[in-house]
A = this chain, B = another copy of it.
Amino acid sequence: MENLNIGICGWGNVATGLFKVLEENNTIIHQKTGCNINIKVIGARRNNPKCDPGDVIIERDIFDVLDHDIDAVVELIGGVDTARELILAAIKKGKHVVTANKAVLFHHGDEIFLEAKKANVSILFESAVCAGTPLIKVIQEELSANNITKIAGMLNGTTNFMLSEMEEGSSFEEVLKIAQDKGYAEPDPKFDIEGYDAAHKIGLLSSIAYGTPLPPDNFHIEGIINIKKIDFDYAKELGFSIKHLAVAKKDDLNIQLRSHPVLVKDNSYLANLKGVRNGIEIDTDLLGVIHIAGSGAGQEATASGLISDLINLMKTNGVFSFPDFPDSLNTIDIAELSFKYYFYIEAMDEPGVMASIASIFAENNISIETIIQKESTDGVSPVILITNRYFEKNVNKVIKTLDSLASIKTYRTIRIED
């Protein structure tokens, strides 16, 4: 297929970005691929002062886009419910779908893929995970001979920016303000800083690597809102950095899916990716560890991924091979996984505070690898410790005890990622 006629649904930032890149880089795209992408129709509820669509037909009802003579629909309306309806309607009409919408795929992916398979159309979504940074097709095609044992990454640029700044000495509140001023974080930052955005992304990667369901079961999701800047100092003293990691990992019969803060060794690849960048580590049997990093956001970066999907549609003539995974892999609850744990504990400053904290761990059969007591201030003694490796359900017993003791003023815990 050398010509592809497309309709774009949605006319916000991402859609106008795609429109502009297709105009500006048209020659480059044709030179490299021999493909022509023609925008036939745009579904725009209203005009966008930032972009003049020229002669392209405008439909005010996005569903009317599907009635035009187009090969593929680019769904850029965002959100979940209407996007799901639009994608399913496009599939019914035999149109291929390209989408940057991670939320709709996370919540309704299995339904959408099943309908697409029945209708023999493609669903492509490179931009849904870290925009155009090459990940989806790398896992689906380039690594397809490999047994992938783990995918772990910093998949949310906002969170990574905030943690990098906190490591330099800012407080959570200060860096959230900076992130919002720079446009990295939304006015309501919940989706980013509570771990959901990264969870959506790793959920999609896990579905293509392991066939886990969409929506997934047993997904542990936790954000960065409880981390204090002092934790970075203690982590550093112990040889670690603090990152927010999204992980999909396979061991024999189980898959683990999780999105939460971790301590990682401060000389590791992931520890050294700072700022708004996204970075991912893929462990494979044939290729060893692959690292991929890029800037995973912005209208141009998203356009890059959308266009790579459109090129792929043309090169494959729209024939999409849906993976066919066995059903035997369970998604395991985080309580059944084992980690080493970092604990920060503030106890009332009394003689023998370190001994009494150590005994709480000992009574629950959790042994300690390292324990440090810091100088007390305002009648409070901070104790920092790292446990040996235990199942989370056992470490939860310690947490229950800490919760019940009046002498413990506050505590925080962060898992350590190997």
Chain A positions near chain B (C-beta within 8 angstroms) = 21, 25, 28-35, 126, 131-134, 137-138, 140-147, 211, 269, 272, 279, 284-295, 300-301, 303-305, 307-308, 311-312, 315-317, 319, 321-326
B133 and A290: CB pair below 8 A?
A: yes
A304 and B33: CB pair below 8 A?
A: no
Residues of B close to A316: CB separation below 8 A: 315-317
Residues of B close to A326: CB separation below 8 A: 31
Residues of B close to A295: CB separation below 8 A: 287-289
Q: Can you give 27 A-B contacts (C-beta < 8 A)?
A: A30-B324, A31-B323, A31-B325, A31-B326, A33-B323, A34-B322, A34-B323, A132-B143, A138-B138, A141-B315, A143-B304, A144-B311, A145-B303, A272-B272, A279-B291, A284-B304, A285-B300, A287-B294, A287-B300, A287-B304, A288-B295, A288-B301, A291-B291, A315-B316, A315-B319, A316-B317, A317-B317
What distance in Å separates the Cβ of A299 from its nearest Cβ neighbour in chain B?
9
A315 to B32, CA, bound (A): 19
A269 to B286, CA, bound (A): 24
For A26, the closest partner residue in chain B by CB is B145
Q: Given A146-B25, A272-B272, are A32 and B294 neighbors across the interface (CB < 8 Å)?
A: no
B294 and A289: CB pair below 8 A?
A: yes
Q: Given A33-B323, A147-B25, are A294 and B304 neighbors across the interface (CB < 8 Å)?
A: no
Residues of B close to A141: CB separation below 8 A: 33, 137, 308, 311-312, 315
What distance in Å separates the Cβ of A96 from its nearest Cβ neighbour in chain B?
14
Find A28's partner among B30, B145, B291 (CB 8 Å cutoff).
B145
Residues of B close to A28: CB separation below 8 A: 144-147
Q: Select the residue from A141, A294, A311, A317 with max chain B CB neighbours within 10 A.
A: A141
What distance in Å separates the Cβ of A72 from its nearest Cβ neighbour in chain B?
15
Q: Given A32-B323, A316-B316, are A21 and B291 neighbors across the interface (CB < 8 Å)?
A: no
A269 to B322, CA, bound (A): 36
Residues of B close to A144: CB separation below 8 A: 28-29, 32-33, 307-308, 311
Known: A141-B311, A286-B304. 18 other contacts (CB 8 A): A25-B147, A25-B285, A28-B144, A30-B324, A32-B325, A33-B144, A34-B322, A132-B142, A134-B142, A134-B292, A145-B311, A146-B304, A287-B300, A290-B293, A291-B291, A291-B292, A315-B321, A317-B319
